Chains A and B, each alone.
Chain A
Amino acid sequence: MEQPQGFITTGKETQVCHLKKAICGLKQASHTWNSNIHAALTELGFKQTVADAGIYIMHQQEEDGPLYIILYIDDITILGASLEAVKELKVNLAKCYEISDLEEIESYLGICITRDQQSKHLTIDQSGYIKDVLVHFGMVDANPYNTPLLAGVDVHLVKYDSQASVSDIKYYQGLIGSLLYVQIGTCPDISFAVSCLVQYAANPSPNHLCLAQYVLSHLVGTIDACLCYDGATGEGLYGYTDSSLADQADDCHSTSSYMFLLVNGAISWSL
């Protein structure tokens, strides 16, 4: 690597920096960081789960129960039954890295998390993010629609026979991208609509544009809706699934969907 501009060592102008540690911008920076934190967590006794490489589990003594870590690049979320164990883990991590302690979780990647310890309620919502999206697309004052998609819209969900303009495509893709993030976060209600519309992101017709804005208008009405996990009910895992044979007007593909609920809140869906 070159010597940084403005900080070239005098007398050694021809020399270059041989990197020992990663810096921002290097292709492998993210991977080396991940190997590093993986090694550190393994050292502390955590095991990476097979299903999700971002989740680490440590089984402790019987009375404490396991400790969980959700790792998202440099964002570490710790879950555990005993406060002492969580605090001890924080102290151990602080030995390895320079960390800032954000205490009780309040938000995660734009998802707002609120807890009510008494009623054992935990709610997650994305109202802040949705608001930003509405401002960006100038739809804050739109009239809210009750449904994410119109009835009988199938005939409009077909390929566009002419070519959409570049700005239309950009606009549509930006809008659909924002809707997708809302959909995978906390809004299973718009999931079906978004999955219908996302198929036309390469060449959207004017009708598709209108429908995408229709979904956004639906979000105006449901901006404060949240997913609520009600621990007091103690409800177990429920799964629902449905499918429909050759329902797509375009190519006669079938659609299938599922949703899983735990303690009265949706945890996983694909519609």
Chain B
Amino acid sequence: MQGPTLPSTPKKEQKLPTSPPPHQSAVCTEQLPLTPELRMPGGMQQQLRNVGVAPRRSVCVPVPNPQYFNTDNVAQRGGRLGNAELLATAYVGRDPASYTEAMGSTNADSWEEACKYEIAALDKNKTWELVDLPADHKAVKLKWVLKHKADGHYHACLVAKGFTQIPGLDYDETFLPVACFESLRLLLALAALEDWEVHQLDVKSAFLNGVLNE
């Protein structure tokens, strides 16, 4: 069954749809007409050149957000990027990867403010108290997740590196049952029949409400 031709059914021979080969469309973002300098975040390439070593790990390439990047426009302008696209290209993927990087960046103040806000929220919730680390124990590591939101504000979120936790010791159950689509459709059909009110709520920072026993 290698060839793309279908079995000759008695009616007529049909060909399988010849859509564009899978990968060209899927990864079109990587074929952008960008200079290599633009692909490297924050002058990293310059530093690498100075040090004279090849990068050990794969370097994160900023990929333009498809929401702001319109390939049609680029094609019309003969492959050149407009200002908006260039801005989007430069911006997306430039969220600092760590707290240290954020504090070294140009808008360190904004990031610090965002972190302070998050810490204040955690404090208000009485999330933790300081204790001495018991012997033979390791503390779970933390990470700041820093995001630049679409509406322009700086968002900081403190997350635990849960992958260092040990099952059975640090945690038991992790499941969270959710409603299935059948139930949703059944209830919506009943709502249409019985003229029910259907309202929606969203709980903010839901996970911070959980009380730990371990």
Chain A residues within CB distance 8 Å of chain B? 1-7, 9, 12, 14-37, 51-55, 65, 68, 70-83, 86, 90, 93, 97-106, 108, 113, 115, 117, 120-122, 124, 135-139, 142, 145, 150-153, 155-156, 158, 160-161, 167-168, 171-172, 174, 184-185, 205-207, 209-211, 213-214, 217, 227, 229-231, 234, 262-263, 265-268
B179 in contact with A27 (CB, 8 Å): no
A120 in contact with B195 (CB, 8 Å): yes
Given contacts A19-B212, A210-B17, whether A263 and B177 have CB atoms under 8 Å apart is no
Given contacts A5-B144, A79-B198, A80-B196, whether A34 and B207 have CB atoms under 8 Å apart is no
Residues of B within 8 A of A80 (CB): 196-197
Given contacts A25-B160, A27-B165, A229-B193, whether A33 and B22 have CB atoms under 8 Å apart is no
Chain B 170-210: CB-based contact to A (< 8 A → 1; otherwise 0): 11111111111111111111111111111111111111111
Residues of B within 8 A of A231 (CB): 192-195
Given contacts A21-B126, A102-B200, A122-B192, whether A54 and B115 have CB atoms under 8 Å apart is no
- Return the 6 tightest CB-CB contacts between A and B, nearest first: A138-B25, A32-B210, A54-B179, A53-B177, A25-B159, A74-B206
Contacting A at CB under 8 A, from B53-92, are 66
A100 in contact with B201 (CB, 8 Å): yes
Residues of B within 8 A of A28 (CB): 170-174, 210, 212, 214
B214 in contact with A16 (CB, 8 Å): no
A74 in contact with B208 (CB, 8 Å): no
Q: Which of A18, A103, A120, A135: most chain B Cβ within 10 A?
A: A18
A113 in contact with B128 (CB, 8 Å): no
Q: Which of B6, B17, B66: most chain A Cβ within 10 A?
A: B17
Residues of B within 8 A of A72 (CB): 178-179
**How far, in Å, is B92 (CB) from chain A's closest CB?**
16
Interface class of chain B by DSSP: mixed
A210 in contact with B4 (CB, 8 Å): yes
Cross-interface CB contact of A22 among B133, B195, B207, cutoff 8 Å: B207
List, sorted by A's number, 18 A–B pairs whose CB atoms are closer than 8 Å: A2-B139, A20-B211, A21-B211, A23-B159, A27-B171, A28-B174, A31-B174, A31-B210, A33-B207, A73-B176, A90-B199, A113-B198, A138-B28, A158-B1, A167-B23, A171-B26, A207-B16, A263-B193
- Give bound CA distance, A139 to B63, whole Å: 20
A108 in contact with B174 (CB, 8 Å): no
- Give bound CA distance, A26 to B133, whole Å: 19
- Give bound CA distance, A177 to B125, whole Å: 38
Interface size class of B (residues with CB under 8 A): 35 or more
Residues of B within 8 A of A104 (CB): 197-200
A23 in contact with B208 (CB, 8 Å): yes
A267 in contact with B211 (CB, 8 Å): no
- Give bound CA distance, A81 to B178, whole Å: 23
Residues of B within 8 A of A51 (CB): 183
Given A29-B162, A53-B177, 20 new contacts (CB under 8 A): A1-B140, A2-B140, A6-B99, A17-B128, A20-B126, A22-B207, A22-B211, A27-B167, A28-B214, A32-B211, A73-B206, A74-B202, A79-B191, A99-B202, A100-B202, A101-B201, A124-B188, A151-B9, A156-B6, A217-B19
The answer to the question of B161 belonging to the interface, with a C-beta cut-off of 8 Å to chain A, is: yes
- Give bound CA distance, A239 to B165, whole Å: 48
B177 in contact with A34 (CB, 8 Å): yes
B22 in contact with A152 (CB, 8 Å): no
B208 in contact with A16 (CB, 8 Å): no
Cross-interface CB contact of A83 among B189, B193, B197, cutoff 8 Å: B197
Cross-interface CB contact of B132 among A4, A14, A263, cutoff 8 Å: A14
